[in-house]
Amino acid sequence: MTVAGSVHIAASSDAEAVAHWLGEYRASPHTQRAYRREAERLLLWLDAQGFGLGDVRRDHLDDFEAFLGDPQPRQRWTGPTRPRHDPRWRPFRGPLSPSSRRQCLVILQGLFAWLVEAGWVGHNPFRLMRDKRRRLDNRQGRVERYLEKPLWDWLWRWLNEAPATQSTPRARFEQERRRLAFGFAYLLAPRIGEVAAARMHDFHRREGRWWWHTVGKGGKAASIPVPPDMMRLLGGWRAVLDLPPEPGPEEATPLLRGLDGRRGLGDNRLYRLIRETFSAAADALEARQGDVSAREVALLRRATPHWLRHTALTHQAQAGVELRYLAETARHSRLDTTARYLHAEDAEWHRQQSRHGLSPGADDDGGEPLQ
């Protein structure tokens, strides 16, 4: 319910009011898409309850939080990724993790704060939630959603298997596109939106070295060093497109492209391509190794595109890349965020802890044993 006579935006419905809020993020498309997803989930849930934005009370937020962790009925709310206009589209792929629920609540608090200022709602019920940033047990532990090195190595070998002799030009095009998408994600640790938005001229040479320029989360611009393997991958992809090996400064064309070789891939299509590839890799590993690889198969089936970013940063840390450079590659504003990828410290801790055991002598300080 709006506050009579004090509305400061030209909106006639909750959806229009939210659209005005989203318009404030037009300069940051990735942020805008993420915020739209969370706002849409709230609006759909409120509609199912028969409420509007102005009706939300503090006690409703507990119900909404529980819903995020278990969207029911599942057939109505969850399903595989599909285009938004597809009638089979659903707002969830599954229950949200504690960290995702926390992020949703923080975003929606911002929405309600803006709506209060706009005069669309009378109060912000999220302000009544005590310590919402920590209440979902979202303590910053080590990153766990990544592929360990042996599994990544197997996946990369599988992606590089030579296509069948009778394979079609389309099959060869798709294989090279998959290799570029996964190699790019592994070597440069981009977010999926940055991969979809990448242009050929974003790869540029400066003083004999190649760099990748991107504008990422929060509109933050960065230039990331490009290793030789990435330039070899790029050269192979450009050969498929009948282009010279190295991009020129005037090539403002999409990096990853549709089957016509010209049109760029959107975020949703790229997301589906990567998930479908993970699924096909899981099928291949299961067929080749059976029960021996059950854990790895399960990981591949769970993996999302963002796992590739986690995998890239974790493996760079394990290879000895210094924390300050790792933070630049990740484009983190805080070093403690980047430090979550330092699994090497866990390995050393585990090695030293293993000295402590129950067998005689495992913790021997030279004293006489009790008789």
Domain ranges of the chain: 14-128, 149-345
pLDDT for the residue numbered 235: 95
Please tell me what DSSP assigns to residue 78. Answer: B
- Mean pLDDT, the chain, rounded, equals 84
**How confident is residue 292, by pLDDT bands cut at 50, 70 and 90?**
low
Over the stretch 86-111, which tens digit does the pLDDT of each residue have?
889 999 988 888 878 888 998 999 99
Q: Are strands 209-215 and 221-225 parallel, antiparallel or unpaired?
A: antiparallel
pLDDT at 344 over 60: no
Which region among 123-132, 257-266, 296-305 has the lowest average model confidence (pLDDT)? 123-132
Determine contact, residues 275/306, Cβ cutoff 8 Å. Answer: no
| DSSP 3-state of 205 | strand
**How confident is residue 117, by pLDDT bands cut at 50, 70 and 90?**
very high
**How confident is residue 369, by pLDDT bands cut at 50, 70 and 90?**
very low
**How confident is residue 338, by pLDDT bands cut at 50, 70 and 90?**
low
Give CATH for domain 14-128.
1.10.150.130
Over the stretch 45-71, which tens digit does the pLDDT of each residue have?
999 999 999 999 999 999 999 999 999
**How confident is residue 12, by pLDDT bands cut at 50, 70 and 90?**
very high
pLDDT above 90 coverage of the chain, percent: 51
**How confident is residue 169, by pLDDT bands cut at 50, 70 and 90?**
confident
- Read off the pLDDT of each residue in 285-305 and give the average, rounded to a whole number: 86
* Burial environment of residue 169 by CB neighbours within 10 A (0 to 12, 13 to 18, 19 or more): exposed
Percent helix, percent strand, percent coil in the chain, to nearest 5: 55, 5, 40
CA 235 to chain centre: 26
Domains 14-128 and 149-345 share a fold: no
What is the C-alpha separation between 223 and 226, in angstroms, rounded?
Answer: 9
For the CA atoms of 29, 311, 331, 197, the dihedral, rounded to the nearest 10 degrees, stands at -30
| Residue whose tokens read 């629920």 | 101
User: What's the first-to-final CA gap in the chain, in angstroms?
Assistant: 79
What φ, ψ does residue 308 adopt, rounded to 5°?
A: -65, -40
* Structure token digits, residue 76: 């109505």
| Residue whose tokens read 């891939």 | 265
pLDDT at 358 over 70: no
| DSSP 3-state of 6 | coil
What is the C-alpha separation between 308 and 247, in angstroms, rounded?
Answer: 25
What is the C-alpha separation between 327 and 139, in angstroms, rounded?
Answer: 20
pLDDT at 252 over 60: yes
pLDDT above 70 coverage of the chain, percent: 82
What is the C-alpha separation between 335 and 344, in angstroms, rounded?
Answer: 16
pLDDT at 82 over 80: yes
Predicted TM-score (pTM) of the model is: 0.61
pLDDT at 194 over 60: yes
- Read off the pLDDT of each residue in 242-252 and give the average, rounded to a whole number: 94
C-alpha angle 103-312-338 in degrees, rounded to nearest 5:
50
Q: How far is CA 209 from CA 247, 248, 263, in A?
A: 13, 14, 29
Architecture of the domain whose range is 149-345: Orthogonal Bundle (1.10)
